[in-house]
Amino acid sequence: MKITVIGTGYVGLVVGACLSETGNEVICADVDKAKIDGLKQNILPIYEPGLEEYVERNQAAGRLAFTTDVPAAIKDAEVIFIAVGTPPDEDGSADLKYVLAVAESIGRHAEREVVVVTKSTVPVGTAEKVAAVIQPLAKVPFHMCSNPEFLKEGAAVDDFMKPDRVVIGVASDFARDRMGELYSPFVRTGKPVIFMDIPSAEMTKYAANAMLATRISFMNEIANLCEQVGANVDLVRKGIGSDSRIGPAFLFPGPGYGGSCFPKDVQALMRTSEERGTPMGILRAVEDANSRQKHRLFQKTQEALGGQVKGKRIALWGLAFKANTDDMRESPALVLIEDLLAAGATVVAHDPAAMHETQRRIGDRITYAKSSHEAASGADALVVVTEWNEYRFPDFARLKGELKQPIVVDGRNLYDPAKMQALGFTYRSIGRGRA
């Protein structure tokens, strides 16, 4: 099948590479010439495990191509995925100007019957707006479809190739047949393809992310209460996660959620609910709790240092909002860095993938270490912010010798409090008491 993906960001690049892996002819189009030139040389603009191999292999096989010529990419496509950005507007709503600009190009340049798929996360009613832009310009029949993505950063290739489910909103048998055929290789093990109307598909994406964000904020609030009443959040998490009605996923406390999806999608859903006269107070509470949680690591660091942070050297392990990505959008590390700098501390940080992106965002206001141990050397305290595997089992004896003071603030609960105490560390974690 001839597929065009417009937008080569996180979603578009994963979609294009994975669809080419199953034998489709895929063109990924973007107006960013520098990005496209890099992709032609197998230089990816994002870090995502496994994606580089897919891009390189399928380009070499002639199944995957990159271009800045959007009209030419649209011309002969059978399915067009719109995967451009939908950044939050000033009021928290999703900005659709890029999506609608692509819609105009499709209307002007499509020359064969085509399925137009909104793959970007967009509010309910967006497909209708896209169709309204295409319709007066269209020279050929077109069929709208909503196909929300459920890709976890750090595991996006596996999520696409082996999905839990595929949600497809359609309004015609033509679109249903084409999309069913396109996704058939990915659901051979029996995972469901769920067809529904387009508004329901658009809502499904927002509802899923809002639910997961709610679980994270809820568990962070429980962890904070555990500290006050002497409970251990690890045991509480196991106790409630074993309930089949609840399950264990997204119940790990931490420094707050970030990334490209949860913050933006919670805000957009809140905005939609307010516009329709049904405000969702629970989401306001989720957002407020998450905002507070992002300051917890600073508070714990300050407490561990006896209330005095000014003049201290603080080491950070991890900058990305989660492991296995270089994504710094809404990362808790950014809040922690600003809190520490405002209090007069100096910051030295290490991350396996996100230091370049951090430097692009905040410049040389902090020091970037070449290794985790270089970051810790001479620091008054170490704060673990991101749960990269390489931070899970450090040489604690070496670490203790490198730190000026044996203080570890663990924002991901990677280490055992009793062990840390036995090793002579002053140790703080989330919801598990002190050591």
Place of tokens 């989720």: 286
| Rounded distance between C-alpha atoms, residue 55 and residue 202, angstroms | 28
> What Cα–Cα distance (Å) separates residue 406 from each residue in 216, 255, 398?
30, 21, 11
- The DSSP line for 295-320 is THHHHHHHHHTTT--TT-EEEEE--S
Q: 18, 28, 226, 261: which is the annotated catalytic residue? A: 261
Residue type, 193: V
Angle of the 262-275 helix axis to the 281-293 helix axis, nearest 10: 150
Do residues 43 and 36 lie in contact, with contact meaning Cβ atoms separated by under 8 Å?
no
Distance CA(184)–CA(190), nearest Å, equals 10
SS3 content of the chain, % helix, strand, coil (to 5): 45, 15, 40
**Amino acid (one-letter) located at 44:** L
The 10 Å CB-count burial string (b at 16+, else e) for 404-426 is ebbbbbbbbbbbbbeebeebebb
Tell me if 284 sits within 8 A of 208, measured CB to CB: no
| 392 C-beta neighbours (distance < 10 Å), count | 12
User: What whole-number distance in Å separates Cα of residue 153 and Cα of residue 327?
Assistant: 8
Q: What is the DSSP letter of 152?
A: P
Decide if 261 is catalytic: yes
Task: Give residues with Cβ within 8 angstroms of 410, minimum separation 6.
Answer: 384, 427, 428, 429, 430
The Cα 226–Cα 247 span in angstroms is 20
CB crowding 280-296: b at 16 or more within 10 Å, else e = eeebeebbebbeebbbb
CA 268 to chain centre: 16
φ/ψ (deg, to 5) at 318: 105, 135
Q: Catalytic residue positions?
A: 261
